[in-house]
Amino acid sequence: MRTFNIPAHYRSNLIGRIKAFRKTQDPRKQDFTPTLLDLGPLRFILARHFGFCYGVQNAIEISYKALEENPGRRIFLLSQMIHNPEVNEDLESRGLRFIQDTHGRMLMSWDELRSDDIVIIPAFGTTLETEARLKALGIDPLKHNTTCPFVEKVWKRSEQLGEQHHTVVIHGKAAHEETRATFSHTAKGAPAMILKDLHEARELGRIILGTLPESRFHELFGTRCTPGFDPAKDLQRVGVVNQTTMLATETQAIADHLKEVMLEKYGQAQLKDHFADTRDTLCYATNDNQDATTELMKEQADLALVVGGYNSSNTSHIVEMLEGKFPTFFINGDKEIIDGTTIEHYNYPAQKLEHTTGWLPAKRPVTIVLTSGASCPDTLLDRVMLKVLGLVEGVRQPDEVIGRLVE
């Protein structure tokens, strides 16, 4: 896999050395066991895979290169390039402006753009409608396009399903940029709909089998399907694709459930005519990070710290997994660790910030699981680690411990 030119301030002096060591020891990524960093009274258990994925590194390289090569030009980001406030704030500080927020709401007027402006498409991609608007303004939407190749892979698979006369069922969050983009690209060639979870997939299955009326489809999915969607006709042949940052296990469970529904309705002999196998749309980074998180859950620890943007889908799913085993705190970075008593963290299900006291146990040694989402710079984990180290007396120096670990 290619390497990227990432700004030095995103590179890690501590975590990076551990990652490089694990990559050398396991170049084919077959070992998902975590790394134990034993600092005496404080122990960190680090996930095997976390941090910037291929698509994020690609987006960062293109964005900073655009800044470097176009001094004096006006440069805009269509929306948040990735879901990490540290990265987006750094880009803003260098003069970039956002056109939309993450839900597609305008932060400025399209009329403010000029044909000589640069507009960067984020890693999530964008809709065909937005591409057409930019072209109408004389701006090439593909010149600074950072759309993740794995997102584009989903679009291509959706196109194939449409050519085969399948309806495309998209597992995703309807308001998410990536899902909106995938829906737009899919809808040009096939009926499409968005469902958010296995519960909705079961409801859809009942509609397909006729145990729920078609009116239930319009009640649930009426705002999340292509215009003129006809459940009686458009649910006869289906294939499932996903927003690449969803829980891979849930996407597979949704596909498995709809496959069973089609088997029940049409029988084994006709199953291939009514259900398309689409497992190849799952993102490698999402799979790797979630598999690494599964291995973390086999460990014994006092708590978990998950670092990333609060609107990051892939990070929220890591939090969701770890909360099943450990007291888990979802933080943007080291600033949320106020002191050894209080931490500010994000309650993702409730969509709100909370303050917890007594988050760091008094027992020694204290063991902390540490990981992050795919859009989080490793430097943030360095800073989180060092902040926690400063709260515990008698710890060993991480430089020395890591040096012995990777020798």
Do residues 174 and 254 both lie within one domain? yes
Do residues 396 and 289 both lie within one domain? yes
Do residues 263 and 289 both lie within one domain? no
Mean pLDDT in residue range 126-141: 96
| pLDDT cut 70: percent of the chain above it | 99
Q: Is the pLDDT of residue 20 over 90?
A: yes
Mean pLDDT in residue range 63-74: 94
The helix/strand/coil state of 194 is: strand
The pLDDT value given to residue 278: 80
Do residues 213 and 255 both lie within one domain? yes
Do residues 255 and 322 both lie within one domain? no
Task: List the Cα angle 35/38/42 in 5-degree steps.
Answer: 120
The mean predicted confidence, pLDDT, of the chain is: 94
Q: Is the pLDDT of residue 305 over 70?
A: yes
**357 is a domain residue:** yes
**2 is a domain residue:** no
Q: Is the pLDDT of residue 1 over 70?
A: no
Q: Is the pLDDT of residue 179 over 70?
A: yes
* Under 8 Å between Cβ of 330 and 366: no
Strands in 238-242's sheet, in edge-to-edge order, are 192-195, 167-171, 238-242, 275-276
**59 is a domain residue:** yes
Q: Is the pLDDT of residue 306 over 90?
A: yes
The pair phi, psi for residue 299, each rounded to 5°, is -85, 165
Last residue of a domain, one of 281, 310, 338: 281
**Residue 354 bridge partners (DSSP):** 345
CATH number reported for the structural domain that contains residue 101 in this entry: 3.40.50.11270
CATH number reported for the structural domain that contains residue 321 in this entry: 3.40.1010.20
The pLDDT value given to residue 280: 62
pLDDT digits (tens, 9 = 90+) for 358-394: 999 999 999 999 999 999 999 999 999 999 999 999 9
Do residues 78 and 176 both lie within one domain? no
Do residues 36 and 72 both lie within one domain? no
Residues 6+ apart with CB under 8 A from 37: 18, 43, 44, 45, 46, 398, 401, 402, 405
Mean pLDDT in residue range 277-281: 73
pLDDT digits (tens, 9 = 90+) for 312-357: 988 999 999 999 999 999 999 999 999 999 999 999 989 999 999 9
The pair phi, psi for residue 234, each rounded to 5°, is -85, -5
Do residues 374 and 386 both lie within one domain? yes
Report how far residue 181's alpha carbon sits from residue 174's, in angstroms, rounded to the nearest whole number. 10
Do residues 94 and 186 both lie within one domain? no
User: What residues are annotated to the active site?
Assistant: 178
Last residue of a domain, one of 227, 259, 281: 281
Last residue of a domain, one of 281, 312, 333: 281
Do residues 329 and 222 both lie within one domain? no
The helix/strand/coil state of 344 is: strand
**141 is a domain residue:** no
pLDDT digits (tens, 9 = 90+) for 185-224: 999 999 999 999 999 999 999 999 999 999 999 999 999 9
* Under 8 Å between Cβ of 91 and 77: yes
Report how far residue 41's alpha carbon sits from residue 402's, in angstroms, rounded to the nearest whole number. 16
Do residues 106 and 84 both lie within one domain? yes
Report how far residue 283's alpha carbon sits from residue 124's, in angstroms, rounded to the nearest whole number. 13
**Of the candidates 183, 167, 191, 159, the residue with the CA atom closest to the CA atom of residue 274:** 167
The pLDDT value given to residue 277: 83
Peptide bond into 327 cis (omega under 30): no
**127 is a domain residue:** yes
Task: List the Cα angle 319/171/63 in 5-degree steps.
Answer: 70
**275 is a domain residue:** yes
**175 is a domain residue:** yes
**128 is a domain residue:** yes
Q: Angle at which helices 15-25 and 378-389 pack, to 10 degrees?
A: 120
- The token pair that represents 136 in the structure block: 């109408």
Do residues 44 and 90 both lie within one domain? no
pTM greater than 0.85 (yes/no): yes
The helix/strand/coil state of 29 is: coil
Residues 6+ apart with CB under 8 A from 210: none
Q: Is the pLDDT of residue 108 over 70?
A: yes
Q: Which residue segment(s) compose the domain that 173 sits in?
A: 163-281
Q: Based on the structure, what is the number of domains in the chain?
A: 3
